[in-house]
Amino acid sequence: MNLSGKAAMVTGAAKRIGREVALTLAREGCDVIVHYGTSVPEAQTLAAEITALGREALVLQAHLDRPADLRRLAAAAQKQFGRVDVLVNNASAFFPLELGNITPKAMQQLFAVNSVAPLLLAQAILPGMKRRRCGKIINLLDISVERPWPSYMAYCASKAALWSLTQSLALAAAPHVQVNGICPGAILWHKGLNKADIRRQTARIPAKRRGEPQDIAAAVVYLCQTDYVTGQKLVVDGGRSVAW
């Protein structure tokens, strides 16, 4: 699919990987729906940068664990641009939850944002893609879908559920709409890691470096531009998953 003139929605676009994905899609010629949860100034700054690239930016707030917000988000995006050609489900809830401390409320929070929200957004946007016989849905997964982490048990389960949904959606969307997942490795170190932790983590990566948000954005562009890849997960981890 040629991205020039297309409309792309990126959830969790205000910061980190989502920000780079949104900017990269704008550079490729997309108008961008910038979703954010609470990061108002960051979302507004991103929108200004997209506008400076000569593309249109629509900034929309939504709590992804609220079905009414999801319906409003999808409706507002499609009203503004008449369609959504690319949906990137990037937003994610992430926190540790070990066996013995797991509660129904925490499980619901993780699954609501990481599994249910991508499905409901796809459900709202996919009919238009199918009518136009063109569209891309890309879900941000995690390398933990293959090798889960015990200390993040519930998070890993929610991402594994999203991987299963990605495959099911690919079948439901075929033949003209493609649905894929991206499994990032160590892209941005989380705040709890000290220098020794970072050195140990880096040593385990064959590429001998962490990834950058641009690496994930490039993977998004690839999956947008190919029409013969669907129902797959693209691992972007510097080789970490084969060097366990």
Q: Which residues does the annotation mark as catalytic?
A: 155
Contacts of 214 (CB under 8 A, 6+ apart): 20, 24
Helix (H) or strand (E) holding 35: strand 31-36
**Two tokens at 108?**
């619901």
**What separation in angstroms does the CA of 5 have from each of 55, 84, 138, 186?**
9, 11, 18, 32
192 CB neighbour count, 10 Å cutoff: 7
Nearest-CA neighbor of 27 among 230, 214, 231? Answer: 214
